[in-house]
Amino acid sequence: MGLMQSDVGCNAGGSAPRSSVACSRPPLLRRPRVLDHRIDVDLTRGGLVVEVKAIASARAALDAYEYRVVVAIDALADSGLDSAGVLRSVGRVSQRTASRVSATAARMAQLPATAASLAAGEITAEHANTIADAAEQMSASLVDSHLARAATQAPADVFAKRARQWVSDQQTETDIAQQHQHQRRNRSMKAWTDRDGMGAWFTRLDSVDSAAVKSSLDTEYERLWRIDGGRDMATPDEVRTPQQRMADAFVSMVTGTDNSASRPTQPPHVRQQLLVIVDHSRLTIDDPSGRARLVDGTPLPQHLLEHLACNSEITGVVFDGPGKVLWTGRTHRQATTVQWRSLVARDKGCVGCTAGPNRCEAHHVVPWHDNGRTDIDNLVLVCSQCHHNLHNRGMCLSRDAQGNWQITPRAGPGTAEPH
């Protein structure tokens, strides 16, 4: 779509101005043509889906147009407000949003493929923000050539997860160590009392400490959820909301003063454990290609890996070749603990969205009732919402050209059972 071309020049014909005085009028930014057209809505499902696609395309074109306007504002030398100030005062957005738009707009000049994809409606502003963030960490041209194409293949949240993984794969050991040191220097906690007398806390932690705290909170939350009734009673949210339960879990974990029930003596469920995935070569030889990372893809420096290994249970997970534990056939319908750990190591969360492993369930690609086997290569992690969509809303699980799982609407009408 040629939506973002500029009308450069002072007269419509493009010839030189008649006056000998140089023309000082700035180039015009052409308004996206898609905004000039009215779309008659067909209120069938197919028509509404087409409408959503048209809206997404128009929104992307408008975002690309806004980026160009923002860059033009910052290029002015008139002592007026910068683009962030204009966005906040005239556009009435928050300071955070204004700063974000201005920063991304400035990056677009170094990301021509990304800018073109956004203007064409192939990606969204969320995709562009992710790519701009990646360009802050490494070569903009490399990021643009790789991620602009990949961004067209997945929703923004899934793409962000893949982009973080790709960036971490490009990092050297020195990059990883410096990144962790930067996070450690910037860790902080603030506590204050709101006007209504309630205490408020804001904490920023490095990726490893954050994952460890989240793991402990998930364990305590699970304990309180079961006390409130759990899945068997189907009433936990009637006792207290999930947000209240998480707050109570925080207080209980920090102070140790919870009288609702005795604490369990068994270790936490595997869903609440902190998992670090390490390539075998990293443990045996000095191999710079070996990686150690958290489940979310955050790379770990060597010294931190050695520190964690001192007090950790180490479990081997093999992905190639059949194994008696990972390939259980139809002897068990539910995934075993070792299979679950393997799924977490492989999928790192829901294959349909960005939900973490603690919110996921093991799904049979070939359904169990169709003689599907409980084998590691017939299982994927999906969150409860994506699981429901697969079984009850006609969504389809498939792989794209790069081998990534994706959950998409079925091509045509049919039963609600997944492929």
Q: For residue 399, what are the β-bridge partners?
A: 405
pLDDT-above-70 percentage for the chain? 74
Does residue 264 register a pLDDT over 70? no
- pLDDT attached to residue 165: 86
With 0-12 / 13-18 / 19 or more C-beta atoms within 10 angstroms meaning exposed / middle / buried, residue 86 is middle
Other CB atoms within 10 A of residue 254 CB: 11
Does residue 399 register a pLDDT over 60? yes
- pLDDT attached to residue 10: 39
With 0-12 / 13-18 / 19 or more C-beta atoms within 10 angstroms meaning exposed / middle / buried, residue 93 is middle
Tokens of 223: 């304990």
Vertex 329: Cα angle to 327 and 330 (nearest 5): 145
- pLDDT attached to residue 28: 59
pLDDT tens, position by position, 278-315: 766 666 655 556 677 777 777 888 777 777 766 666 66
pLDDT tens, position by position, 101-112: 999 999 998 999
Tokens of 265: 């003596």
pLDDT, mean of residues 53-68: 92
Residue identified by tokens 């000082």 is 24
Tokens of 153: 């293949």
The model's pTM: 0.66
Asked if 55 contacts 113 with a C-beta cutoff of 8 angstroms, the reply is: no
Name which of 3-7, 29-33, 276-280 the model is least confident about: 3-7
Q: Kindly indicate the confidence band of residue 27, based on its pLDDT and cuts at 50, 70 and 90.
A: low
Q: Kindly indicate the confidence band of residue 7, based on its pLDDT and cuts at 50, 70 and 90.
A: very low
Name which of 4-8, 44-48, 215-219 the model is least confident about: 4-8
- pLDDT attached to residue 23: 39
Name which of 86-100, 124-138, 139-153, 229-243 the model is least confident about: 229-243
CATH architecture for segment(s) 315-409 = Orthogonal Bundle (1.10)
Residue type, 29: L
Mean of all residue pLDDT scores within the chain: 79
The CA distance from 248 to 251, in Å, is 5
Q: What is the DSSP string of 166-219?
A: HHHHH--HHHHHHHHHHHHHT-EEEEEE-TTS-EEEEEE--HHHHHHHHHHHHH
Does residue 228 register a pLDDT over 80? yes
Domain ranges of the chain: 6-170, 205-272, 315-409
Tokens of 345: 């190591």
Name which of 80-94, 130-144, 390-404 the model is least confident about: 390-404
- In the 8-state DSSP scheme, what is residue 308? H
Cα 309 to Cα 123, 178, 362, distances in angstroms: 41, 21, 28
Does residue 134 register a pLDDT over 90? yes
The set of residues, in sequence order, having a beta carbon less than 8 Å from that of 167 and lying 6+ positions away, is: 134, 137, 138
Does residue 344 register a pLDDT over 70? yes
Q: Kindly indicate the confidence band of residue 317, based on its pLDDT and cuts at 50, 70 and 90.
A: low
Q: Where are the beta strands (DSSP E) in 338-383?
A: 360-364, 379-383
The CA distance from 309 to 68, in Å, is 50
pLDDT tens, position by position, 87-102: 999 999 999 999 999 9
